[in-house]
Structure 1
Amino acid sequence: MFGYRERVTGGLEAFDDWLNSLLAERAREAGEDVDQYVVRAVASRMIADQRRVDSPVIDDLLTHLSNAGVFAESAMPSVTASITDPSRLRALYATGLLDSPPEEIYDRITRAAADALDAPFALVSLVDSDRQFFKSAAGMKITSPQERQTPLSRSMCQYAVANRAPLVLEDARADPVFKNHPAVRDGTLVAYLGIPLIDGDGNAIGTLCVFDTKPRLWGTGHVQVLSDLAALATERIFGATSDSAR
């Protein structure tokens, strides 16, 4: 599929025996053979380079890599039952926020979250039955309505929503479960901290989250600050009766 598979398999020419042995060990730990591991690493670097210069071809690059199977989705725990729970979806739809335009009140919250936690990206995300919608996004260059949402398969927030609890990942690449997430595998996300937005009936509709493309040490202070900002978001969405506002 990749054209140079035979040349890569077994090691890299420029590597000595020790480096090739370590490469093979890392590939095994990732559940891949050497060529898959190398191709994914190269693709991740391509994505990172394109993001750094705000390249207009980033979407095309992701599409081609996806079609080529470079970042084929690995098994992740299913949270479908929680995400498609009728009560949760009714609570989400009742907010009227899905597909609504940006609002400064939410943008202030995501900017404050990014600044307070020194994170390059922050989101107010809403998790639908089949997609994730960004009510607000700090640090992301969004130029069209289509860029304000992603398929649910690329959502990390769905797991915080499903568990109705903060999700703390300092280096998702080292996590036995989340290392398999598509956004982790393609290098979009390495560290993540998400607080669910929960109404007074216990329905989580989305998150306030921050994330980074490098590992982070999230302390209790970080969780508290983000929880306080999430409480502001839930008060705005639901009024003072939400769980996060109590």
Structure 2
Amino acid sequence: MTTQLPRYDDWLNGELEECARDAGEDVDTYVARAVATRMVADLTRSERRSAEELMSHLAEAAVFADSSLPNVSAAINDPDRLRALHATGLLDSPVEEVYDRITRAAAQALDAPHALVSLVDADRQFFKSSAGLGELTKEERQTPLNRSVCQYAVANGVPLILEDARADPVFKNHPAVLDGTLVAYLGIPLIDGDSNAIGTLCVYDEKPRLWSTGHVQILSDLAELAAERIFKQPT
């Protein structure tokens, strides 16, 4: 063990080492991630400033980096997919009531605190619509790609269902899971007629959820409405 924490006796340091080992990390990494998670949570609750700057620095320092997350860069950067996304003209566009109705309906129907229409670009995700997050600033309507869970639903082109991401062998070390942003997630890809997934309609919660087949069907139906609106051809 490389770290001996102040105020920790031998027993506590031994427990720390065991917890880090169970998480598959060395103690330094385990402690750094724990501290970073607390910093993000505290700053998010604070009204002093946004946590975005902190998250940006944590990303640059690779504090939450983890090789167990699948590499989906090839699918995300597929030229046809990106052309389909950019052709919608929705990136950086203002909020629209037609999409807000869909996210509100998704949150209400699934009794979820948060819902998003998320568009996944090559290096970021942009929120065309959100429910349960209040009025977002321009900066808050996008996040770096490493913060995106939606990218994995987009890359695979199928619904992504996480009932407790903290216990998931793949997603337990995702930055949004580590800092407590989400625990449960259900995302349906938004797919055009050429099978290009450009984003998702998703709901998420800060506590575990059991998503039923009914939940998946309802969200899929709402995602189809969103996709019809996005990819509607002019008459």
Shorter-chain-normalised TM-score: which range? Answer: 0.7 to 0.9
- Would you say the 8 A contact 1:167–1:193 is kept in 2? yes
Moved more, 30-39 or 144-153: 30-39
- Would you say the 8 A contact 2:44–2:50 is kept in 1? no
Moved more, 157-166 or 169-178: 169-178
Q: Give the counterpart letter for 1:150 in structure 2.
A: T
Give 5+ residue unaligned stretches, structure 2.
Answer: none
C-alpha RMSD of the superposition = 2.5
1:45 to 32, 38, 57: 38
Per-residue Cα deviation, 1:144-174 (whole angstroms, up to 9, x for no partner): 3222111212111111011110000111121
Aligned to 2:229: 236
Distance 2:214 2:164 in 1: 18
Distance 1:6 1:164 in 2: 43
Per-residue Cα deviation, 1:196-243 (whole angstroms, up to 9, x for no partner): 001112111110001122221111111111111111101111239xxx
Aligned to 1:74: 66
1:171 to 161, 164, 170: 164
Identity of aligned residues (%): 69
Aligned to 1:210: 203
Displacement of 1:87 after TM fit?
1.7
Aligned to 1:190: 183
Q: Taking structure 1 as the reference length, what is the TM-score of the superposition?
A: 0.83
- Would you say the 8 A contact 2:3–2:27 is kept in 1? no
Aligned to 1:144: 137
2:75 counterpart of 1:95? no
Distance 1:67 1:238 in 2: 35
Displacement of 1:115 after TM fit?
1.6
- Would you say the 8 A contact 2:41–2:179 is kept in 1? no
Displacement of 1:63 after TM fit?
4.1
SS at match of 1:96: coil
Displacement of 1:56 after TM fit?
2.6
Aligned to 1:109: 102
Mark the CA change 1:224 to 1:20 in structure 2 (over 3 Å): closer, same or farther.
farther
2:8 to 9, 13, 29: 13
- Would you say the 8 A contact 2:186–2:203 is kept in 1? yes
Q: Give the counterpart letter for 2:5 in structure 1.
A: V
Displacement of 1:61 after TM fit?
3.6
Q: Give the counterpart letter for 2:203 in structure 1.
A: V
Aligned to 2:213: 220
Q: Give the counterpart letter for 2:8 in structure 1.
A: E
Distance 1:88 1:35 in 2: 39
Moved more, 56-65 or 185-194: 56-65
SS at match of 1:179: coil
- Would you say the 8 A contact 1:8–1:34 is kept in 2? no
Distance 1:214 1:185 in 2: 13
Mark the CA change 1:163 to 1:63 in structure 2 (over 3 Å): closer, same or farther.
closer
Q: Give the counterpart letter for 2:4 in structure 1.
A: R
SS at match of 1:180: coil
Per-residue Cα deviation, 1:45-88 (whole angstroms, up to 9, x for no partner): 343344345553423443454456543x1122111221122221
Q: Give the counterpart letter for 1:13 in structure 2.
A: Y
